[in-house]
Amino acid sequence: MNRYPLWKYITVAIALVFGFIYTLPNFFGESPAVQVSSAKVTLKVDANTQARVEDALKSAGITHQGIVLDSVGVKARFKDTDTQLKAKDAIERTFNPDSRDPQYVVALNLLSASPQWLTAMNALPMYLGLDLRGGVHFLLQVDMKGALTKRLDSQSADLRSMLRDKNIRHAGIGREGDRIVVRFRDADTRNQARNAISDSTTDLALADLGDGSDLKLVATLKPEAEKKIGEFAIKQNITTLHNRINELGVAEPVIQQQGADRIVVQLPGVQDTAKAKDILGRTATLEIRMVDDGPGALEAAIAGNAPFGTEVYTERGGQPLLVKKQVVLTGDRLTDAQPGFDSQTQEPAVHLTLDSAGARIFKDITRDNVGKRMAILLIEKGKGEVVTAPVIRTEIGGGRVQISGRMSSMEAADTALLLRAGSLAAPMDIVEERTIGPSLGAENIQKGFHSTLWGFVAIAVFMIAYYQMFGVVSVVALASNLLLLVALLSLLQATLTLPGIAAIALTLGMAIDANVLINERVREELRNGMPPQAAISEGYERAFSTILDSNITTLIAGLALLIFGSGPVRGFAVVHCLGILTSIFSSVVVSRAIVNLIYGRQKKLLKVAIGNVWKPGNTAVDRKN
Amino acid sequence: MEFFRIKKDIPFMRHALKFNIISLLTFLAAVVFLATQGLHLSVEFTGGTLIEVSYPQAAELEKVRGALGKNGFSDYSVQNFGSSRDVLIRLPLKDAGASAQQGEQVMQALAAEAPGAELRRVEFVGPQVGKELAENGAMALLVVIVGIMIYLAFRFEWRFSVSAIIANLHDVIIILGFFAAFQWEFSLSVLAAILAVLGYSVNESVVVFDRVRETFKKARGLTTPEVLDHAITSTISRTIITHGSTQIMVLSMLIFGGETLYYFSLALTIGICFGIYSSVLVASPLVMWLGVSREQFIPKQKKVIEGATEDGACV
Region label for A510, one of left (φ > 0), alpha (ψ between -120 and 50) or beta (otherwise): alpha
- Structure-model confidence comparison of residues B308 and A95, the more confident one: A95
In chain B, % of residues over pLDDT 90: 14
| Residue B308, pLDDT score | 44
Q: DSSP letter for B14, please.
A: G
Q: Clarify whether residues A516 and A399 are in a common domain.
A: no
Report which of A504, A436, A478, A568 is spatially closest to residue B253, judged by C-alpha positions.
A504
| Domain carrying residue B102 | 48-125
| Residue A85, pLDDT score | 82
Q: Look at residue A613 and tell me if it is in a domain.
A: no
Give the integer Cα–Cα distance in Å for A548 and A295: 86
A119-133: average pLDDT: 85
Q: Please identify among residues 139-168 of chain A the ones whose CB lies closer than 8 Å to any CB of chain B.
A: 139, 141
Q: Which of B8, B119, B192 sits opposite A435 (nearest CB)?
A: B119
Q: Look at residue B32 and tell me if it is in a domain.
A: yes
Q: Clarify whether residues B116 and B226 are in a common domain.
A: no
Per the CB < 8 A criterion, the answer to whether B34 and B180 are in contact is: yes
Contact flag A550-B196 (C-beta cutoff 8 Å): no
| Residue A380, pLDDT score | 57
pLDDT in tens, A134-143: 888 888 888 8
Q: Clarify whether residues B92 and B230 are in a common domain.
A: no
A226-243: average pLDDT: 82
| Residue A459, pLDDT score | 94
| Residue A590, pLDDT score | 92
What CATH number does residue A186 fall under? 3.30.1360
Q: Look at residue B162 and tell me if it is in a domain.
A: yes
B13-40: average pLDDT: 89
Q: What is the pTM of this model?
A: 0.75
Q: Look at residue A387 and tell me if it is in a domain.
A: yes
Q: How many structural domains compose chain B?
A: 2
Q: Output phi, psi for B82, to 5 deg.
A: 85, -60
Q: Clarify whether residues A66 and A192 are in a common domain.
A: no
Q: Clarify whether residues B173 and B255 are in a common domain.
A: yes
Q: Which of B8, B234, B250 sits opposite A618 (nearest CB)?
A: B8
Whether residue B31 is predicted with pLDDT greater than 90 in this model: the reply is yes
| Residue A374, pLDDT score | 86
Q: Clarify whether residues A18 and A41 are in a common domain.
A: no
Q: Clarify whether residues B270 and B214 are in a common domain.
A: yes
A360-384: average pLDDT: 78
Q: Which helix (H) or strand (E) holds A353?
A: strand A348-354
What CATH number does residue B63 fall under? 3.30.70.3400
Report which of B249, B114, B270, B304 is spatially closest to residue B184, judged by C-alpha positions.
B270
| Residue B28, pLDDT score | 93
Give the integer Cα–Cα distance in Å for A396 and B295: 90
Q: Clarify whether residues B113 and B140 are in a common domain.
A: no
Q: Clarify whether residues A475 and A418 are in a common domain.
A: no
Q: Look at residue A1 and tell me if it is in a domain.
A: no
Contact flag B120-A440 (C-beta cutoff 8 Å): yes
Q: How confident is the model at residue A504 (pLDDT cuts 50, 70, 90)?
A: very high
Q: How confident is the model at residue A376 (pLDDT cuts 50, 70, 90)?
A: confident
B44 touching chain A per CB within 8 A:
yes
Q: How confident is the model at residue B1 (pLDDT cuts 50, 70, 90)?
A: low
Whether residue A32 is predicted with pLDDT greater than 90 in this model: the reply is no
Contact flag B258-A447 (C-beta cutoff 8 Å): yes
Q: Clarify whether residues A559 and A459 are in a common domain.
A: yes
B98-111: average pLDDT: 75
| Residue A247, pLDDT score | 62
Whether residue A331 is predicted with pLDDT greater than 80 in this model: the reply is no
A258-286: average pLDDT: 75
Whether residue A125 is predicted with pLDDT greater than 50 in this model: the reply is yes
Q: Clarify whether residues A69 and A202 are in a common domain.
A: no
Domain boundary among A396, A423, A450: A423
Mean pLDDT of chain A: 82
Q: Output phi, psi for A211, to 5 deg.
A: -150, 180
Whether residue A101 is predicted with pLDDT greater than 80 in this model: the reply is no
- Structure-model confidence comparison of residues A240 and A452, the more confident one: A452
Contacts of A510 in chain B (CB under 8 A): 200, 246
Per the CB < 8 A criterion, the answer to whether A193 and A168 are in contact is: yes
Q: Clarify whether residues A450 and A592 are in a common domain.
A: yes
3-class DSSP state of A313: strand
Q: Please identify among residues 485-524 of chain A the ones whose CB lies closer than 8 Å to any CB of chain B.
A: 498-499, 502, 505-506, 508-510, 512-513, 516-517, 520-521, 523-524
Q: Clarify whether residues B204 and B79 are in a common domain.
A: no
Q: DSSP letter for A307, please.
A: P
What CATH number does residue B244 fall under? 1.20.1640.10
Domain boundary among B125, B152, B174: B125
* CA-based nearest residue in chain B for residue A131: B121
Q: How confident is the model at residue A620 (pLDDT cuts 50, 70, 90)?
A: very low
| Residue A456, pLDDT score | 95
**Measured between CA atoms, how close is B262 to chain A, in angstroms?**
11
| Residue A383, pLDDT score | 66
B287-307: average pLDDT: 65
| Residue A311, pLDDT score | 82
| Residue A271, pLDDT score | 66
Determine which of A48-57, A65-74, B304-313 has the lowest per-residue pLDDT on average.
B304-313
Q: Look at residue B33 and tell me if it is in a domain.
A: yes
Mutate to test the interface with A, among B7, B175, B253 (most CBs of A within 10 A): B253
A227-248: average pLDDT: 79
| Residue A424, pLDDT score | 67
* CA-based nearest residue in chain B for residue A622: B219
The sign of the torsion formed by the CA atoms of B149, B150, B156, B158 equals: positive
**Measured between CA atoms, how close is A105 to chain B, in angstroms?**
26
**Measured between CA atoms, how close is B91 to chain A, in angstroms?**
14
Whether residue A472 is predicted with pLDDT greater than 90 in this model: the reply is yes
Q: Clarify whether residues B87 and B169 are in a common domain.
A: no
Per the CB < 8 A criterion, the answer to whether A177 and A455 are in contact is: no
Q: Clarify whether residues B161 and B277 are in a common domain.
A: yes
Q: Which of B126, B222, B264 sits opposite A432 (nearest CB)?
A: B126
Q: Clarify whether residues A498 and A553 are in a common domain.
A: yes
State the distance between the two ends of chain B, measured CA to CA, in whole angstroms: 19
Whether residue A473 is predicted with pLDDT greater than 90 in this model: the reply is yes
Q: Clarify whether residues B66 and B26 are in a common domain.
A: no
Q: Clarify whether residues B234 and B163 are in a common domain.
A: yes
Mean pLDDT of chain B: 82
A146-170: average pLDDT: 78
A530 touching chain B per CB within 8 A:
no
Q: How confident is the model at residue A501 (pLDDT cuts 50, 70, 90)?
A: very high
B303-315: average pLDDT: 45
Cβ neighbours around A617 below 10 Å, total:
9
Q: Output phi, psi for A422, to 5 deg.
A: -55, -40
Per the CB < 8 A criterion, the answer to whether B25 and B38 are in contact is: no
Per the CB < 8 A criterion, the answer to whether A140 and A262 are in contact is: yes
| Residue A623, pLDDT score | 43
| Residue A530, pLDDT score | 86
Q: Clarify whether residues B99 and B184 are in a common domain.
A: no
A82-105: average pLDDT: 78
A478 touching chain B per CB within 8 A:
no
Alpha-carbon distances, residue A212 vs A187, A189, A443, B184 (angstroms): 9, 13, 76, 68
Per the CB < 8 A criterion, the answer to whether A301 and A454 are in contact is: no
Whether residue A475 is predicted with pLDDT greater than 90 in this model: the reply is yes
Q: Clarify whether residues A288 and A347 are in a common domain.
A: yes
B294 touching chain A per CB within 8 A:
no
Contact flag B104-A274 (C-beta cutoff 8 Å): yes
| Residue A527, pLDDT score | 84
| Residue A619, pLDDT score | 47
Whether residue A585 is predicted with pLDDT greater than 60 in this model: the reply is yes
B133-137: average pLDDT: 86
A35-53: average pLDDT: 79
B8 touching chain A per CB within 8 A:
yes
Q: Look at residue A115 and tell me if it is in a domain.
A: no
Q: How confident is the model at residue A414 (pLDDT cuts 50, 70, 90)?
A: low
Q: Look at residue A232 and tell me if it is in a domain.
A: no
CA A369, chain centre distance (Å): 45
Q: Which of B226, B258, B261 sits opposite A620 (nearest CB)?
A: B226
Domain boundary among A423, A453, A485: A423
Whether residue A589 is predicted with pLDDT greater than 50 in this model: the reply is yes
| Residue B312, pLDDT score | 45
Give the integer Cα–Cα distance in Å for B272 and B269: 5
Cβ neighbours around A285 below 10 Å, total:
16
| Domain carrying residue A451 | 6-23+437-599
| Residue B303, pLDDT score | 41
State the distance between the two ends of chain A, measured CA to CA, in whole angstroms: 29
CB-defined contacts A:B, below 8 A: 282
What CATH number does residue A541 fall under? 1.20.1640.10
Q: Look at residue A391 and tell me if it is in a domain.
A: yes
Whether residue B266 is predicted with pLDDT greater than 90 in this model: the reply is yes
Strand duo A495-496 + A127-128: pairing = parallel
Whether residue A618 is predicted with pLDDT greater than 50 in this model: the reply is no
pLDDT in tens, A58-84: 888 888 888 888 877 888 888 887 888
Contact flag A619-B120 (C-beta cutoff 8 Å): no
Whether residue A413 is predicted with pLDDT greater than 90 in this model: the reply is no
Q: Look at residue A430 and tell me if it is in a domain.
A: no
Q: How many structural domains compose chain A?
A: 4
Q: Clarify whether residues B73 and B159 are in a common domain.
A: no
For A264-291, the DSSP string reads: EEEEET---HHHHHHHHH--EEEEEEEE
